[in-house]
Amino acid sequence: MRVDPNSDYYPLNSSSHKLGGESMNISVEQKGSEYQDTESEDELVSIDERSSVDVLSHDEDILGEEEELYRLLMQEKRRRDGTLASIKRKFFYLVPTGQSQPKIGKNEMEKQKMRKQRKKRREGKASNDVENDEEANFLTEIEVGVTTDSDREAEEKPKSSRRHTRFMRHKNKSKINFNKIYLTQILIFAGISLLLLVSLKRFSEKKDFRPTPKLLSNGTALFAQTTIYISLDGFRADFLDRGITPRLNIMREEGVSPLYMQPSFPSATFPNHYTLVTGLYPESHGIVSNEFWDEELKEKFKNTSPKAQNPKWWGGEPLWVTAEKQGVRTAVHMWPGSESRIMGIEPSFLDKFSFKTTLKDKTKRVLELLDKKGYEDDVDEDSRPQLIAVYVPNVDIAGHRFGPNTTEVWSTISDVDQMLDEIYLGLEQRNLTKIVNVVVVSDHGMATTDISRMIQLEDLIDLDKIEHIDGWPLSGLRLKNSSEIHEVFHEIKKLSSKNQNFEVYLRDENMPERYHFSNNNRIAPLWIIPKTGWAITTKKEFDIEKSKSKGLQYYPRGLHGYDNEHPLMRAIFVATGPSFPRTPSKRIKPFQNIEVCNIICDSLGVVPVPNNGTLRLPIHQINSQEADIFTEIPTDLDLSLTLTPPESQVATTTSSSIIVTSTATPSMNPSNDSELKSEFASKLSEIDLNWIIGKERIVWDWLKGKKEQLASWWED
């Protein structure tokens, strides 16, 4: 039966096709107007001109269009449901509570029924095609001249696949959208969390970030925990027993002071001053000597060079940095390392080194800092510091120049004690003795030198083999050929058996463990360490035999840097104030200076960073069953004050700004003051003035070459 393509509908009520003796009836009653919604006139072709595959494809197209129509209807329905519900479904894929599913009308039900029927027919046809090869051949014959069904099916498979792909793409797109939204939410949350953490970290690192400390009043102002930390360079422990330090002796009686404090090795100024503010051994903080070679940097550290201020040299975290990071304001006056801006942080108040600064200036500066506004006012850049660290080099300078057992050094010690007395009187006037702690320390002691106690380095090793020499008066050697180090070591070791006034060590093999002086590449591989009071020098620096023949003396007259356990190298620790209740000196076990940093931190209420120290406040007495601790005054070479040197050493004097000429003593004890002056006068009357003039000239000649370097380092 031929179908009229112009008719309004397909009259397929009774049409049939016989296939292999069997018939397959297809009956569809549908108004033409309904089909006009989905089919154009071009699509209404004769059934005789269509293959079964065409019919199948036609049905699938209709099904796809109806599904698309259904999807559009649902989309429109969702749009009408409101923007809020749409957003909820977009983000959370939930059907809003109480919302009913779209209603399906009668026409929709009929369309769904037709879809099911067409699906069954397609499945039945596919089954018949597989079961009966003859039917497949017949289909091929009646479609001679036309593309075979199998070919068309092959062509139609991509179409079906594309529809499936579009469906899966839509499904995957929905999943991707969900994943994007979920990932975006996670990223936003993570970003906010990161910003909060960064803000908290920055806020915690601010100087003023810490709870308001406990405040004490002196009657006119509020003070937080405050400590004045003073270092007397070169002040040997037994100097306190000379009867010329009344203020320090009173502090010992009223506070805490062991009989001595042990410095770190080597007992030199820069290593020990940095240990005093870090609590680290020199091998740990990196300042291993006053002068040393850094193999990695290919550079020499020299304490008199401006380059020594570069923070790359200074390891660890000094006390003022720790305090500033915790909101405790600090003032540092001329302390070694304070000008280096270590870790990018400076003290709130920084005073650079100057030879022109007198002891009077130091006293004035300390009291001036205490008089700054405090917590009763708004805190700003000029507010009062809680830590005041002060470096006093006078005793060390006099000790190097004249030797430790001289009236010049005694006079300088008296002047320094007078400075401490003036500071203490200033605290009394301000009613601060029960509020402010005063801690006085030294970095090392001092030993007298003599030309009879000299070692010429050329007698021990060929200098042509040496690339660098570190650590005067010790000798740390770096060889040009490192493979020769054991050979050189054994040669020097043999010589030490004949001259027992020096020891030789390899850093990585036999360096004494108690020195804590091996775990750093800045430490030279080979060390010659003289006995205390001896000195090692090259002929270029000081020719021993020629000087002896001329009757000359070796300068400097006082040295340090030796074995840190030797009595002549002992330092002091004297502390008084609210954090240091009275404890007899003989009941306190002496300790090493690695402990001081933690003690100062505790006195300020600051949490110290990890270091080598373990001692904390309060400092406890020894066991009550133990006997008191005693120590003997160490013996040292004592030059006769009546000795007249050879005329070859007598010369015209040159004035020196380094010499401390003041002989004032603390005014709190007039009787001792007059006795001390009388003693000094009697001593001075016995001295040959010509010898003093000659000695001063020689000392000044030695220091002259050093002064410019010192000035260039300490002053910009």
- Percent helix, percent strand, percent coil in the chain, to nearest 5: 45, 10, 40
Nearest to 228 by CA among 373, 365, 416: 365
Q: Is 691 exposed, middle or buried (0-12, 13-18, 19+ CB in 10 A)?
A: middle
The single residue of 226, 245, 269, 407 carrying the catalytic annotation is 269
CB 366 within 8 A of CB 226: no
Q: Is 429 exposed, middle or buried (0-12, 13-18, 19+ CB in 10 A)?
A: exposed
Query: CA–CA separation, 427 vs 615, rounded Å?
Result: 28
Strand partners, 476: 470, 527
Q: How far is CA 554 from the centre of its chain?
A: 44
- Give the alpha-carbon dihedral of 286, 290, 294, 298, to 10 degrees: 140
Q: How far is CA 607 from the centre of its chain?
A: 15
DSSP state, residue 479 = E
As a three-state string, the secondary structure of 280-328 is CCHHHHCCCCCEEEECCCCEEEECCCHHHHCHHHCCCCCHHHHHHHCCC
Query: CA–CA separation, 346 vs 320, rounded Å?
Result: 8
Judged by DSSP in three states, 555 sits in coil
In the structure encoding, which two tokens stand for residue 344, read together?
Answer: 């990018």
Query: CA–CA separation, 289 vs 271, rounded Å?
Result: 6
Query: CA–CA separation, 292 vs 306, rounded Å?
Result: 15
Query: CA–CA separation, 701 vs 708, rounded Å?
Result: 13
At 134, the amino acid letter reads E
CB 389 within 8 A of CB 335: yes
DSSP H helices, 312-444, are 319-325, 359-370, 394-402, 407-429
Query: CA–CA separation, 427 vs 606, rounded Å?
Result: 23
Nearest to 453 by CA among 508, 394, 502, 393: 502
**Active site includes 269?**
yes
The CA angle 332-336-341, to the nearest 5 degrees, is 70
Q: Is 702 exposed, middle or buried (0-12, 13-18, 19+ CB in 10 A)?
A: middle
In the structure encoding, which two tokens stand for residue 350, read together?
Answer: 């920084």
Q: Is the dihedral of CA 218, 221, 226, 231 positive or negative?
A: negative
In the structure encoding, which two tokens stand for residue 520, read together?
Answer: 């750093």
Half-sphere exposure at residue 318, Cβ-oriented, CA atoms within 13 angstroms: 32
Catalytic residues: 269
